[in-house]
Amino acid sequence: MKNSFKYCALALTITSVLTGCNEETSNTPNDNNGNPYVVPIASDAAISGDSYVGSTLTGEYTYLDPNYSPRPEGASGYDWRVDDGDQDLDNDVSIGNLRTLLLADAQLAKSVYFCVTPEATGSSNTTGETKCSTATLIEAGNGNKPIANNVTLDNTTPTVGDMLTGAYD
């Protein structure tokens, strides 16, 4: 009878220890008032600036960390893309990863848009869902076209084999 009592006591002790471990891991205290952190949110993604070759566009958005103890924004990711016209954004070509984009001739007559992936400081649930702006069409520069005045040729009666030289202001 003594042996069966020791066996039962041992079994109760092990069960008690295991139950205590499970309760501790499911209720881990943290800095968010005892709740697990949720991911940050980016909203209102938009583009500001003139959409002309030679201009600079800026990506705009609102950052929100909806936790009891909001975390500051970390290194959020930026991505400028050329819209290829289909619904699948994953295959659009990336053309920049800064918050600003200097528009080059390569973007002329193309639609570009800005995406942001919000990142909070910390180590738990720090990366939120990527949000993108609507696309904007890039147009030619907004300056005046050059004008050539006083166009002249050095020989107004050329024959085959003559070299002509032109000049203009």
**Euclidean distance between CA atoms 107 and 116, whole angstroms:** 20
Query: Beta strands 136-137 and 100-102: pairing type?
Result: unpaired
**Confidence at residue 6, expressed as pLDDT on a 0 to 100 scale:** 52
**Confidence at residue 91, expressed as pLDDT on a 0 to 100 scale:** 87
The enclosing H or E element of 100 equals strand 100-102
Percent share of the chain, pLDDT over 90: 55
DSSP 146: P
Q: At the top level of CATH, which class does the domain 41-137 belong to?
A: mainly beta
Q: Which of 18, 127, 24 is nearest to 77 (CA)?
A: 127
pTM for this entry: 0.66
Q: Look up residue 74 and give its amino acid.
A: G
pLDDT digits (tens, 9 = 90+) for 22-79: 333 343 445 688 889 999 999 999 999 999 999 999 999 999 999 998 999 999 999 9
Question: For residue 12, what pLDDT band results from cuts at 50, 70 and 90?
Answer: very low
pLDDT digits (tens, 9 = 90+) for 69-104: 899 999 999 999 999 888 777 889 999 999 999 999
**Euclidean distance between CA atoms 30 and 157, whole angstroms:** 91
Query: CB under 8 Å to 106, separation ≥6 — which residues?
Result: 95
